[in-house]
Every structure is written in structure tokens, then in C-alpha cells.
Amino acid sequence: MKGLGTIITIWDKIVVLLYLLSGLLLFVTYYYALLPIAVIHKLFVAFGIGWSFMLYGLFYKKLKQPFIVTSFIVFSIIQIIIYVSFKNESIFFDRIGGTYLSTLLFLPAMLISYHLFNLLNRFIYKDDLIITGPGNRLGQPQNGRKIRTLDFVFSFAGALLFLFGVTILF
């Protein structure tokens, strides 16, 4: 098990299931018009931003484990399909500078940005990137090493990339 990150717990599976169920609930709420469209817009934004940051902070250590990677890739593909399906068909999601549906692309962008910056970190330092945030204080040893400046830079750049890059591009 060495090199695979931490063990998948029941809580990890519950969080992944909650992510799936909340996305499904959001889709059903829109499809059957259970709430006003303005509320649904806010839910899409909260879903995209909230879950992506939470998943980025909670699961980055486990992004080498097959269950987590497979789950997130499957969810990303589903979200891309939903985005492509509804983007041009629904004027209800249009807004200045894009669409409310663009938040569905945060998870795939988060996976891509994490792996891109992790690959860059491996090229420079020959070890894995440590995502910094509230749970990882400056100087706190992790993965057998202290947090470097580039861990902060890559973490911040990755968050900006998946948050603002998607919003600007889509």
C-alpha cells in the first residue's frame, strides 16, 4: 500500500455518495422546475464552488487511489455531458460572461489542474505536491517533508485555474 496515499474510509465513500446525490438532486430540481430558476442558479454556483473546493481540500491525498479517481472521472464525464446538453438549449442558464452551468466544469478542471501541477512538482522536486489550505499550516510536515513555497504557489494557481479559468472560458 505504500505510495498509494491514505486508505479509503467509509466517510470517503459517504462524501462521494453525497456529491453524487446532491448533483442528482440539483438536476431533478431543475428538470422538474421544483424551485424558481433564480434559486437554481444559486444552487448551481454553490454546488460547483463548494464541492470543488471541498473535494480539492479533502481528497488531494487520495487522488492516486482507484476508487476516488474513477469516481471523480465518472462524475466529471457526467457533468461535461450535462453541460454540453443544456448549454445551448436553455436560455435559463445564460448570464453575462458565460452560463450558470459552467460550474459543472469545476470538478473536471480541478482534476486536470491538480494533476498538471502535481506533474510539474514531480518534474522539479521528484515528489508529490502538497495542497495547502486551512488544514495544512505553514511548516507542518506532511508526506515526510515540510511544505515548500511552490506547494503554496501551485495550490493557489490550481484553485485559480479551476475556479476562474472555467468561468472565463465557458
Q: Are 135 and 151 in contact (CB under 8 A)?
A: no
For residue range 78-104, what is the model confidence (pLDDT) as tens digits? 888 888 888 776 666 777 666 778 888
Out of 4-8, 57-61, 102-106, 134-138, least confident range: 134-138
Burial environment of residue 115 by CB neighbours within 10 A (0 to 12, 13 to 18, 19 or more): middle
Nearest alpha-carbon partner for 129 in 157, 163, 106: 157
**Helix, strand, coil content of the chain in percent (nearest 5):** 70, 5, 25
Residue type, 99: T
Q: Say what percent of the chain tops pLDDT 70.
A: 83
pLDDT for the residue 88: 73
pLDDT for the residue 41: 86
Q: Is the pLDDT of residue 170 over 80?
A: no
pLDDT bin (cut points 50, 70, 90) of residue 5 is very low
pLDDT for the residue 133: 64
Q: What is the pTM of this model?
A: 0.75
Q: Could you state, in order of their start, the residue ranges of all structural domains in the chain?
A: 10-127
pLDDT bin (cut points 50, 70, 90) of residue 140 is low
Q: Are 94 and 139 in contact (CB under 8 A)?
A: no
Distances (CA, A) of 28 to 22, 32, 59, 90: 10, 6, 27, 15
